[in-house]
């Protein structure tokens, strides 16, 4: 049974043995942070680029609070920040909406990339943009981030399996 992560929600864990999944990403960003030495994993379903307040009740909802919050939670579990690698999916332009909202998908993507770059977190793989939806799955058994689309073949974002390398480390 997979753990489904809804809009604005997140998950963090060590030695994760369950698949985590974000179904139907459109303009939202699915962010996976992996620290394989300590086997610590974080995943967030980011909805908007910027929080309207400094300390929002749902920090994973906004790119500018989700990234530092997820890193902080991972560090609590022993993750070393400079060993963390990011994988991204989503940021599509699904809807043509008249008004001031603009292209939320593009703005989400820019905000997440900026937050990661500020903290020198390397992006190891991504499937972003376009005008179509995506499902992002963390395959715990294989240590792979996999993107599925309607009517297209699955895409593996992780260039190599993101599994623990530390002797005695658990399976992430």
Figure out which of the listed residues 95, 117, 141, 165 binds another protein, where binding follows CB under 8 A: 95
CB-based contact 158:140 (threshold 8 Å):
no
Quick check: 7 binds another protein (CB under 8 A)?
yes
Phi and psi at residue 18, in whole multiples of 5°? -110, 145
Quick check: 3 binds another protein (CB under 8 A)?
no
Give me the residue label for tokens 């399996």.
Answer: 161
Phi and psi at residue 151, in whole multiples of 5°? 75, 15
Contact positions with another protein (CB under 8 A) in 48-77 = 48, 61
Chain centroid to CA 53: 22
Contact positions with another protein (CB under 8 A) in 105-164 = 105, 108, 132-135, 148, 150-151
- End-to-end alpha-carbon separation of the chain, Å? 16
CB-based contact 39:15 (threshold 8 Å):
yes
Residues annotated as part of the active site? 28
Q: Least Å distance between CB 58 and another protein?
A: 9
Quick check: 6 binds another protein (CB under 8 A)?
yes
* Residues near another protein (CB under 8 A): 6-8, 23-28, 47-48, 61, 92, 94-98, 101, 104-105, 108, 132-135, 148, 150-151
């Amino acid at each position: 049974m997979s753990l489904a992560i809804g809009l604005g929600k997140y998950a963090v864990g060590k030695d994760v043995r369950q698949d985590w999944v974000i179904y139907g990403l459109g303009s939202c960003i699915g962010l996976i942070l992996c620290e394989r030495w300590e086997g610590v994993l974080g995943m967030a379903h980011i909805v908007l680029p910027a929080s309207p307040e400094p300390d929002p009740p749902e920090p994973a909802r906004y790119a500018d609070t989700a990234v530092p919050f997820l890193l902080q939670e991972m560090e609590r579990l022993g993750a070393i920040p400079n060993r963390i690698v990011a994988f991204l999916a989503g940021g599509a332009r699904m809807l043509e909406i008249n008004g001031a909202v603009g292209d939320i998908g593009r703005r989400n993507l820019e905000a997440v990339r900026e937050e990661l770059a500020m903290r020198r977190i390397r992006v190891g793989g991504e499937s972003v943009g376009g005008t179509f939806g995506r499902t992002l799955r963390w395959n715990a058994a294989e240590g792979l981030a996999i993107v599925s689309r309607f009517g297209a073949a699955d895409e593996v974002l992780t260039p190599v399996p993101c599994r623990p390398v530390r002797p005695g480390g658990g399976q992430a």
